[in-house]
A and B are shown apart, each in its own frame.
Chain A
Amino acid sequence: MAFPHRPDAPELPDFSMLKRLARDQLIYLLEQLPGKKDLFIEADLMSPLDRIANVSILKVRSLSLRSCPSFLFEQLCFLVRPRIKNMRYIASLVNADKVAGRTRKYKVIFSPQKFYACEMVLEEEGIYGDVSCDEWAFSLLPLDVDLLSMELPEFFRDYFLEGDQRWINTVAQALHLLSTLYGPFPNCYGIGRCAKMAYELWRKLEEEEDGETKGRRPEIGHIFLLDRDVDFVTALCSQVVYEGLVDDTFRIKCGSVDFGPEVTSSDKSLKVLLNAEDKVFHEIRNEHFSNVFGFLSQKARNLQAQYDRRRGMDIKQMKNFVSQELKGLKQEHRLLSLHIGACESIMKKKTKQDFQELIKTEHALLEGFSIRESTSYIEEHIDRFGSPRFFLPVLRLLCLLSITENGLIPKDYRSLKTQYLQSYGPEHLLTFSNLRRAGLLTEQGPGDTLTAVESKVSKLVTDKAAGKITDAFSSLAKRSNFRAISKKLNLIPRVDGEYDLKVPRDMAYVFSGAYVPLSCRIIEQVLERRSWQGLDEVVRLLNCGDFAFTDMTKEDKASSESLRLILVVFLGGCTFSEISALRFLGREKGYRFIFLTTAVTNSARLMEAMSEVKA
């Protein structure tokens, strides 16, 4: 059962234009430097670049493509992210050339934009005059027909941990680009401090360039901006829909995955593009894993039947079959065997006792029962799996425990931390300090006394001021209030009998029917009401009193079709489970969702971003 969309589901806009734009701009920038040149491409940009421009295109432009410092030509072009580390690297190369008495032309192309701090570093290193700088405004990569990624994984750490707001402008620019290409968005909603800032910056950009989009008919009726810190819980859960599971197990990078020998059942690993064009994958990507195997075997039988048809064919039919169908069948066959291989590999890893226990513990945490058992389970985990490669999964559980329980009780907090440090090394003292700052792993106690004070104070003042006070307090101790929110929004479905994962009845199916993703539920609720009305309490519990907004234009230019297209912007990353859940919601309600994320994330990536690891 793939998600066949309702017949009245709107068509998605064509996002391949974004690829063309980026490609043309890059070619233009490279042509500014005529003649042969060495091109240094930062590793992080390699995959996105690969998705929009064949390396062959670059070769046609008489470039020699290399990523090691043994450069050949008199012109050297760097294609990099605006990071200080990169600037230092470039400076070391240029200065080495200077010492060796070589004169070359250097050009640095920043993607998606240049930062003043980078130029500063170039200046401090004394090479500002030697290099020319340019910007390649490549901020939106269409990973799939409905998924745009900014490919900025550092957004999460920079903003949510370090409080660095520099990427917000990039987000605003990207939204501006979308609205110039696909028309204005008549309805805007958002939640989160970052969402609000990005939205306001974007509005300012639109005002400065007014007139451009005014007359256009909107193609996308709604836009919803959401900060990752509104819902950490969903991102911390183990994923059990196929695409999410593949991401958790093999790590999908820029829309493609490297299947190792254990999947390909040969001695080579294979890079596979995972998107809607892969017919087999398209049908199983949103499925709960328990259904995938059955589906695949059904598919295999069908395929066999199609192959078998040729038995009774005469020569003409055979000719037809070979020329028209065989290729498709073979292709399908190849993909099918790959995904079966992947499933087997996942099964091998996941169906052991451990994984079942793990899921059970997660569900217990989400539902808030047998907390003691869960805590001991985690402690046992720490004690058992001392080797450093396990530090992420355990950390994730700790965070999940903290958020769902509004912080750990002090005794547990100390003992779990001690255990953790003993197992995974003392540098994680910094990791804990990071997690605390981000509100992912906290200690109960002072926060609770604050709540008491707060509730007293808020009785005395107006609602609005109360919201402000809540924010003030929350900045002191970010409390998650998960339990209360869960109750308000009914995130834990009441189970009567078995949850039928084959015919899901709500978005909870992406977590085996145990939990409706909070982020998706918020989106669902707001879209239903077309505003935040009636959700005041939830917003307050989310510590977003001042940062939930709605903005509607009264114009009736939007067609009913466009009003069922919704762009969801995840600031700080979204998971494949969330995507699957919203795709499901869309199918139920006749919407189509389009996803824009700073990067696709999962629990492991979140934890990595927060940890301090020895270099």
Chain B
Amino acid sequence: MDCYTANWNPLGDSAFYRKYELYSMDWDLKEELRDCLVAAAPYGGPVALLRNPWRKEKAASVRPVLDIYSASGMPLASLLWKSGPVVSLGWSAEEELLCVQEDGAVLVYGLHGDFRRHFSMGNEVLQNRVLDARIFHTEFGSGVAILTGAHRFTLSANVGDLKLRRMPEVPGLQSAPSCWTVLCQDRVAHILLAVGPDLYLLDHAACSAVTPPGLAPGVSSFLQMAVSFTYRHLALFTDTGYIWMGTASLKEKLCEFNCNIRAAPKQMVWCSRPRSKERAVVVAWERRLMVVGDAPESIQFVLDEDSYLVPELDGVRIFSRSTHEFLHEVPAASEEIFKIASMAPGALLLEAQKEYEKESQKADEYLREIQELGQLTQAVQQCIEAAGHEHQPDMQKSLLRAASFGKCFLDRFPPDSFVRMCQDLRVLNAVRDYHIGIPLTYSQYKQLTIQVLLDRLVLRRLYPLAIQICEYLRLPEVQGVSRILAHWACYKVQQKDVSDEDVARAINQKLGDTPGVSYSDIAARAYGCGRTELAIKLLEYEPRSGEQVPLLLKMKRSKLALSKAIESGDTDLVFTVLLHLKNELNRGDFFMTLRNQPMALSLYRQFCKHQELETLKDLYNQDDNHQELGSFHIRASYAAEERIEGRVAALQTAADAFYKAKNEFAAKATEDQMRLLRLQRRLEDELGGQFLDLSLHDTVTTLILGGHNKRAEQLARDFRIPDKRLWWLKLTALADLEDWEELEKFSKSKKSPIGYLPFVEICIKQHNKYEAKKYASRVGPEQKVKALLLVGDVAQAADVAIEHRNEAELSLVLSHCTGATDGATADKIQRARAQAQKK
């Protein structure tokens, strides 16, 4: 393997840089790259080309064309540009293409050329036109920075959450800056710009002039500047052909280099890898590529074709019409193993394994050598690590074979690093494949994480591969397979040429009841594509009603939503739909809908009872529910109205309603109440005291207690109080007054409709035995015994009972016979009983 390091180029004493081909491009470009606006997404992302961007003519043949390719040059989309002139293109972190137009509008396209949305960068930008624009990436997302015709900057740090920030003015700036870039420090985006020999830093508050430390003298202009992938380093290219490299904070210089080319480079990008000490910048001119770093010499390449540089986390991708290459610093592990005449443990292990395959005893010698130094573990680790950094599967395999060989001689080498590397490489090789075209390196892959990679595969509609990867890596279903299936389904619903039934069936077949799949999300997508019917079909598969309802509402299928909500039994959900309906429909339709859904109706009524009384009334009106309307007004007559007139009026309305409801009883009762209220008012005026709101019964009682017997009787007549009640009422009231005289008069006024036992009872209750006895004699025969017992006349009670020959009465009297005093009576009863039995 002597030639393996043939493409290694040393830079200084300690580092090698190598460039290897990723793909030979298949994109059959007709134009030169320089005639196009180019944007390539990092992490092996897609490439967008806008042809003829600067033509102003309207002719269709020369209209700009936007093409999107995978990194391997496979066409993904092509569309005719019909919007305004484009100044700049760029990819967001979500692999959405941002096209910045001259008027400050930013159009967002998907990977497949599907238009997503657009937003504007503000009025100021619109007025002054866009001179230049940059898309940049921060930890919050992707941002856009714009230089306007008025030489002012506007930026938004996150296009997903658009907040425009207008940067302060640079004092005395007359012409456009010669170059500028976006710096991100401490989570804030700044702009660094060069005007002649001066550098200015703009943050959102102020503009400050800055000077890089140790800058060589004689600079009259900066031609190019570059910020590293992580925003940590900055490189400046001056008109003297001098390159300054330092920290992005401009506090420290790392190194400098003089390339003696005064022409402005086409592109300049950083080429460094994480955790490496080496710093290098790649500078590209028309036909020349130069890698410069902290070394007196540079590495030079000739460019055969027009090329474009894409900075990556750990290197630079370079693509042209025919090839796509990767340039990076050779990682430490690979360097150790492959450096010529290396005696590193990894190198020896690789050698040993090769000899072993040749069945040569040298294998043993090499192995011994490593073991004697106690470096076998290290050797295995080196081989595993180096395998990760190799692009060619053959080389990966031989390194892994060496690692595996070495592992055999180790007692306790944890297997997971080896296994994981095998898995990772398998995934990487799969996505690097020409047809997929995502040339990720191992470091990029680790930075990106498997979840994001899966997202990107889904974005490219590579569902089968994504699912295979999930299954291969045994990812949990919810994060893995189900998520991808759900995405697939969301894509499937966009296929307009397939009928709703077929799509719904296909989706259900594939998804079934897979855990973690939300049918409502898929349905939402279907609705988004205008396929409402399909959305409804898909919602049928959704087991949770709570999930169906919001979408149905959105689709204006409110009535269906209402019945689904009712089905769910969740009253809160029903209520949500109701409020929605209330706003959506006019009142009449809303009430009609309610009418057909008793459950919802009761719910809404309950709410109205507490919160919207007027609506409640309208509801009853709408239904011609006069019964409830009447009740409503009755309630109002004592709850809402204060004045007597208002109350009477409310009662009148109620009575009318009851008549309409054919509830004459209620109507009459209500009218009586109106009369009573008026009368009570009059009584209060004439007699004083409290009458209002008393029941009829209490009103009469109060009158009697107040000595207004005439009035009481008049009232009783007016309201047709039955005699029985009047008697009870008077009896109770007079007894309460202890007006025994009046009571006696009353008792003799005519024959009592309630008999005379109550008189006895009530006198006893008031502890007036004397009065009680008066009435006891008048009690009818059936109750005589009871009355006599009440007044304590046991002996006479016994006589009556015996006379009646009533067994029950006899035992009642007997139970009242106490001890000695009534002994004679008791005997009498016993005798009577005995006699009765004889007969």
Do B572 and A115 touch (CB < 8 A)? yes
In the complex, which residues of chain B have a beta carbon less than 8 angstroms from the beta carbon of A433? 627, 631, 666
Do A430 and B602 touch (CB < 8 A)? no
Do A383 and B606 touch (CB < 8 A)? no
Given the contacts A163-B598, A383-B725, A430 and B665 also touching, CB distance less than 8 Å: no
Do B599 and A165 touch (CB < 8 A)? yes
Alpha-carbon separation in the docked complex, A48 to B571 (Å) = 25
Given the contacts A166-B603, A421-B669, A383 and B572 also touching, CB distance less than 8 Å: no
Contact indicator per residue, chain A 417-455, by CB within 8 Å of chain B (1) or not (0): 111011111110110010000000000000000000000
A208 contacts partner chain B, Cβ-Cβ < 8 Å? yes
Do B569 and A383 touch (CB < 8 A)? no
Given the contacts A166-B571, A421-B669, A430-B634, A84 and B725 also touching, CB distance less than 8 Å: no
A111 contacts partner chain B, Cβ-Cβ < 8 Å? no
Given the contacts A117-B575, A388-B695, A427 and B634 also touching, CB distance less than 8 Å: yes
In the complex, which residues of chain A have a beta carbon less than 8 angstroms from the beta carbon of B579? 120
**A253 to chain B: closest CB distance in Å?**
25
Do A422 and B576 touch (CB < 8 A)? no
Do A426 and B673 touch (CB < 8 A)? yes
Do A429 and B634 touch (CB < 8 A)? yes
Of all chain A residues, which has the CB nearest B666? A429
**B505 to chain A: closest CB distance in Å?**
24
Do B701 and A386 touch (CB < 8 A)? yes
Given the contacts A117-B575, A162-B606, A166-B571, A614 and B728 also touching, CB distance less than 8 Å: no
Given the contacts A162-B602, A386-B697, A387-B698, A422 and B725 also touching, CB distance less than 8 Å: yes
Alpha-carbon separation in the docked complex, A383 to B754 (Å) = 11
B607 contacts partner chain A, Cβ-Cβ < 8 Å? yes
Alpha-carbon separation in the docked complex, A512 to B822 (Å) = 32
Within the complex, which residue of B543, B571, B693, B697 is in contact with A115, where a contact is CB–CB below 8 Å? B571
Contact indicator per residue, chain B 672-683, by CB within 8 Å of chain A (1) or not (0): 110010000000
In the complex, which residues of chain B have a beta carbon less than 8 angstroms from the beta carbon of A208? 543-544
Contact residues, A167-204 vs B (CB, 8 A): 168-169, 172, 197, 200-201, 204
Within the complex, which residue of A418, A612, A615 is in contact with B669, where a contact is CB–CB below 8 Å? A418
**A162 to chain B: closest CB distance in Å?**
6
Do B569 and A168 touch (CB < 8 A)? yes
Alpha-carbon separation in the docked complex, A237 to B728 (Å) = 26
Contact indicator per residue, chain A 455-479, by CB within 8 Å of chain B (1) or not (0): 0000000000000000000000000
Alpha-carbon separation in the docked complex, A134 to B602 (Å) = 26
Of all chain B residues, which has the CB nearest A161? B602
In the complex, which residues of chain B have a beta carbon less than 8 angstroms from the beta carbon of A116? 571-572, 575-576
B639 contacts partner chain A, Cβ-Cβ < 8 Å? yes
Do A384 and B602 touch (CB < 8 A)? no
Alpha-carbon separation in the docked complex, A120 to B599 (Å) = 19
In the complex, which residues of chain B have a beta carbon less than 8 angstroms from the beta carbon of A551? none
In the complex, which residues of chain B have a beta carbon less than 8 angstroms from the beta carbon of A383? 722, 724-725, 728-729
Contact residues, A192-238 vs B (CB, 8 A): 197, 200-201, 204, 208
In the complex, which residues of chain B have a beta carbon less than 8 angstroms from the beta carbon of A85? 610
In the complex, which residues of chain B have a beta carbon less than 8 angstroms from the beta carbon of A164? 571, 602-603, 606
**A: interface residue count bin:** 35 or more
**A565 to chain B: closest CB distance in Å?**
28
Alpha-carbon separation in the docked complex, A425 to B637 (Å) = 13
Alpha-carbon separation in the docked complex, A117 to B570 (Å) = 12
Alpha-carbon separation in the docked complex, A421 to B675 (Å) = 14
**B732 to chain A: closest CB distance in Å?**
7
Contact indicator per residue, chain B 525-537, by CB within 8 Å of chain A (1) or not (0): 0000000000000
In the complex, which residues of chain A have a beta carbon less than 8 angstroms from the beta carbon of B725? 383, 419, 422
Within the complex, which residue of B673, B695, B724 is in contact with A423, where a contact is CB–CB below 8 Å? B695
**B356 to chain A: closest CB distance in Å?**
52
Looking at A166, A422, A612, which has the most chain B CB atoms within 10 Å of its CB?
A422
Within the complex, which residue of A120, A163, A386 is in contact with B698, where a contact is CB–CB below 8 Å? A386
A344 contacts partner chain B, Cβ-Cβ < 8 Å? no
**B267 to chain A: closest CB distance in Å?**
51
In the complex, which residues of chain B have a beta carbon less than 8 angstroms from the beta carbon of A115? 571-572, 575
Given the contacts A115-B571, A384-B728, A426 and B670 also touching, CB distance less than 8 Å: yes
Alpha-carbon separation in the docked complex, A233 to B685 (Å) = 47
In the complex, which residues of chain A have a beta carbon less than 8 angstroms from the beta carbon of B732? 384
**B149 to chain A: closest CB distance in Å?**
43
B721 contacts partner chain A, Cβ-Cβ < 8 Å? yes
Do A386 and B602 touch (CB < 8 A)? no
Of all chain A residues, which has the CB nearest B601? A163
In the complex, which residues of chain B have a beta carbon less than 8 angstroms from the beta carbon of A117? 572, 575, 607, 611
**B520 to chain A: closest CB distance in Å?**
14
**A130 to chain B: closest CB distance in Å?**
19
Do B696 and A422 touch (CB < 8 A)? yes
Within the complex, which residue of A165, A422, A425, A429 is in contact with B569, where a contact is CB–CB below 8 Å? A165
**A313 to chain B: closest CB distance in Å?**
41
A367 contacts partner chain B, Cβ-Cβ < 8 Å? no
Alpha-carbon separation in the docked complex, A388 to B721 (Å) = 18
In the complex, which residues of chain B have a beta carbon less than 8 angstroms from the beta carbon of A165? 569, 571, 599, 602-603
Contact residues, B713-733 vs A (CB, 8 A): 719, 721-722, 724-725, 728-729, 732
Do A414 and B603 touch (CB < 8 A)? no
B635 contacts partner chain A, Cβ-Cβ < 8 Å? yes
B257 contacts partner chain A, Cβ-Cβ < 8 Å? no
B362 contacts partner chain A, Cβ-Cβ < 8 Å? no
B109 contacts partner chain A, Cβ-Cβ < 8 Å? no
B605 contacts partner chain A, Cβ-Cβ < 8 Å? yes
In the complex, which residues of chain A have a beta carbon less than 8 angstroms from the beta carbon of B758? 384
B445 contacts partner chain A, Cβ-Cβ < 8 Å? no
A158 contacts partner chain B, Cβ-Cβ < 8 Å? yes
A29 contacts partner chain B, Cβ-Cβ < 8 Å? no
**B566 to chain A: closest CB distance in Å?**
9
Do A169 and B634 touch (CB < 8 A)? no
Alpha-carbon separation in the docked complex, A594 to B697 (Å) = 47
In the complex, which residues of chain A have a beta carbon less than 8 angstroms from the beta carbon of B639? 614-615
A536 contacts partner chain B, Cβ-Cβ < 8 Å? no
In the complex, which residues of chain A have a beta carbon less than 8 angstroms from the beta carbon of B719? 422
B285 contacts partner chain A, Cβ-Cβ < 8 Å? no
Contact residues, B611-657 vs A (CB, 8 A): 611, 627, 631, 634-635, 638-639
Alpha-carbon separation in the docked complex, A379 to B639 (Å) = 29
Contact indicator per residue, chain A 103-143, by CB within 8 Å of chain B (1) or not (0): 00000000000011100110010000000000000000000
Do A386 and B569 touch (CB < 8 A)? no
Do A423 and B576 touch (CB < 8 A)? no
In the complex, which residues of chain B have a beta carbon less than 8 angstroms from the beta carbon of A169? 569-571
**B577 to chain A: closest CB distance in Å?**
10
Alpha-carbon separation in the docked complex, A615 to B638 (Å) = 9
Within the complex, which residue of B569, B607, B693 is in contact with A614, where a contact is CB–CB below 8 Å? B693
In the complex, which residues of chain B have a beta carbon less than 8 angstroms from the beta carbon of A418? 665, 669
Alpha-carbon separation in the docked complex, A614 to B692 (Å) = 13
In the complex, which residues of chain B have a beta carbon less than 8 angstroms from the beta carbon of A379? 724
In the complex, which residues of chain A have a beta carbon less than 8 angstroms from the beta carbon of B599? 163, 165
Alpha-carbon separation in the docked complex, A276 to B732 (Å) = 45
**A310 to chain B: closest CB distance in Å?**
38
Contact indicator per residue, chain B 800-835, by CB within 8 Å of chain A (1) or not (0): 000000000000000000000000000000000000
Of all chain B residues, which has the CB nearest A614? B638
Alpha-carbon separation in the docked complex, A517 to B722 (Å) = 37
Alpha-carbon separation in the docked complex, A534 to B86 (Å) = 83
**B655 to chain A: closest CB distance in Å?**
11
Contact residues, A584-615 vs B (CB, 8 A): 612, 614-615
Alpha-carbon separation in the docked complex, A163 to B673 (Å) = 30
Looking at B603, B666, B695, which has the most chain A CB atoms within 10 Å of its CB?
B695
Question: Can you give 5 A-B contacts (C-beta < 8 A)?
Answer: A84-B607, A116-B575, A166-B571, A204-B569, A426-B634
Given contacts A168-B569, A386-B701, A417-B669, 18 further A-B contacts (CB under 8 A): A117-B572, A117-B611, A121-B611, A124-B611, A164-B571, A166-B603, A201-B569, A379-B724, A380-B754, A386-B697, A388-B698, A417-B665, A423-B695, A423-B696, A425-B693, A427-B638, A430-B634, A433-B631
- What 7 A-B pairs come out closest when comparing CB atoms? A386-B697, A163-B602, A166-B571, A84-B610, A116-B572, A426-B673, A383-B725
